[in-house]
Each structure stands twice: as C-alpha cells, then as structure tokens.
Amino acid sequence: MSKEQLSVAVIGAGMAGRSHANGYREANTIHGAGLPPIRLAAIADVNVKLAKEVADRYGFEDAAGSWEEAANDPSIDAVSIVVGNSLHREIAEAMLAAGKHVLCEKPPSNSIEDAEAMVKIASQSNLVASTAYSFRRNPAIEAIRDLIADGSLVNPVLVDARYLADYATDPKGPMGWRFRGEMGTGALSDLGAHIIDLAEYVCGPIVSVSGAQLTTTITERHLPIGNVIGHDMAELSEETEPVTNDDTAIFTATFDNGAVATIRTSRVAFGLPNDLVLTVTGTECRAEFDWKRPAEFVVSDMQPDARTRGDRVVYVAPNTSRVFDDAVPMPGGNISFGYGDLFTYEIRVFIDEILEHPSALPRNADLTDGLHTMKIVEAIKKSHEQGGATVKV
C-alpha cells in the first residue's frame, strides 16, 4: 500500500453503495489531519449505467461492470462490499485473497456457514475485515453508552428497542433479493441486525432470547420489468413470486448483566420510514435515543431535589461524546446531522484501522461481530420455531 495515497473502490451502486461512496469522499474532512489523500478509484456494479452515474456524482475515476475488475486491480487497497447478502462471501474472499482490506455491509452473509468461512479467511490475513454497523457512531448513542459504562446511569434493568420501517408496506412493491431466503433473513436481518448490535453495543452481550414471533404479511410480490434500485418502485410483470422470509419480528432478550429487553423490527410499519428508538431504564435512571431527533437524547436520573426530577433533553455538542468532536463543519450544540454522516464516521474508522492511525472514533465491528449477530438471529429463529422457547446464544 502506497504511503502517498489510499485507493478505494465500492462494490454496489445502490442507495447504501452511494452512502459508502460519499463517506470515502468526506473521510478526510473529519477528526483532524494525518491521512494520506484518498484516491476514489472505482464504483463496480452489474448495472454499468448506474455505476457510471454514481462514479460521476461522487468523483470516482472509473465505473466497472463487475466486482472482479476491482479485485484484479493491484492499485486498489480497500473496498466496501454493498450488494445482496448472498454475494458477500464470494466477493470478500476474493478481495482478501487479492490483499485488499474489506468493509462488508451487514449481515456478513446469508448463512452462518458462509460467515464462519469469511471469519476464518480474514483471521489468516493481516488485513482489516470489518462489518458495517453505521448506527454505532451516533454521538447521542455514544454518550448514553459512556454514561452507562462510567456508572453515571446506574443499574440498567430494562431495554426497549425497535427499528421499524415502511419500505415494504405497498404490496405493489417489486420482488427483490430482500424478500427471498428463509425466515430470519428478512426484516430481522435487514433492520433487526442494526438494533441488536446497537443494544449490545450500549448494554453488553445478549445471552438468550425468548418469545420470538416472525410473521410475513405480504406473501407474494410481482417480479419487476428491468432493474430496481434500493426500495424504488418499478414497472411490474404479471409473474409473481412468494415472499419466503419475515416482514416483522418481535422477541425478548436477556443480557449478560441481567437486564432484559423487548426488541421489535418490521419493514411493513406504515408511516414510519426509519423509526429507530433505544430506551434503557434502570433502578435510578433512564436514557432514550430516538433517530427522529438524532442530535439529542433524553436522560432522567436522581436529581438532588425531587421537585425537579424528570426527563431532560441533552443536546449533542462538543464534549458530549468523542464522536461529535471535530466531526461536523459547524460543531455547535444541537447542530443536527444526517444518516450519511454516520457512514462517513464508519469509513473514517475503517481507514484509520487500515493505516494504524490513532482514531477518536469507536472501532468498527469486525466480521466476528457480524457473525455473532447472525448467531443471535439464528437463536431468534429457533425460538420462533419452538413456539417462543428460550434459546441460549
């Protein structure tokens, strides 16, 4: 790897691929100097027209029609893999074999066996192999995690977590890879993986799950005519295909510290385009984060005077958490930011790890962490199949 520059490519030009592309473009603008120039080498997608549009929009030099072109390019040092889950293993293994660092979207794969193989190959290299959990570096989440870790928020006993979305509410939405696969690979793996990782990131490891129910509301969808990008609508054919995985999942979980949780996720929650909420309640405290107001969080604790106790809003500001400091152009209190910023933070950490550069940001999840979340998903699936029985992770 050249010390003069770091060359990167993004595999996949859909909505998440665009977010990764933008993250690489902006990574050098946050958390101080010290990085070499980032060479935006290529966007690769089977939809070459789309790859060219994304490459032009975000300043990448080239658009490729296959991931193999990036794998075979010796000038590329690192890649983001942002395609359908079933393709992750083949691409990741090829990139690692070619000596390239990998940031792979979650989940690492569609099967535990494939994810275990990916972890094994990564462990045999000296390369960075990360799983992309973008919500980890939200400044408000980091602040709540810090308050629990240092004992300011005492004895958490109850967690209420949800990630609800409405991208699949319309039965006229086209069939796509997100609706194929066994139960557990639908909303639970797509959205639930985020909220499971976030709950563990804040409250520690989950040791068992129970009471799981997985349901499918829209049981078939029409195949599209032509390509579909992300959750876009499309012209439909007459041909239908069954939806084989879950639209909604709900379960309870027990953490290693004894806290218990109710966790819900759905892709058919009308009117909720991106509803992520995490509430942690203890015997002497409560803290809540709601993505609808990403630059703040709520805290309630044992104020000295009972007359003034109750919820208070804390606005994210410099010194609220290490994530926020030097992470936006205008670092003032209650200066909001968007989901795209979280990808920039995630990719800055990825680059820092590649270069062994000191980072103010929390580390990325690695492939082992991604595999761990998949094992929780598998335990949830087993609980569902066993009528809600308790299943250890």
How far is residue 314's CA from residue 312's CA, in Å, rounded to a whole number?
6
Please tell me the pTM assigned to this model: 0.94
- Asked if 104 contacts 88 with a C-beta cutoff of 8 angstroms, the reply is yes
pLDDT recorded at residue 3: 64
In order along its 393 residues, the chain shows pLDDT tens digits of 446 899 999 999 999 999 999 999 999 998 877 789 999 999 999 999 999 999 999 999 999 999 999 999 999 999 999 999 999 999 999 999 999 999 999 999 989 999 999 999 999 999 999 999 999 889 899 999 998 998 888 889 999 999 999 999 999 999 999 999 999 999 999 999 999 999 999 999 999 999 999 999 999 999 999 777 777 778 889 999 999 999 999 999 999 999 999 999 999 999 999 999 999 999 888 999 999 999 899 999 888 788 888 899 999 888 787 777 788 787 777 776 788 899 999 999 999 999 998 887 889 999 999 999 999 999 999 999 999 999 999
* Domains, in order of start, for the chain: 6-135 (3.40.50.720), 139-293+295-321+372-384 (3.30.360.10)
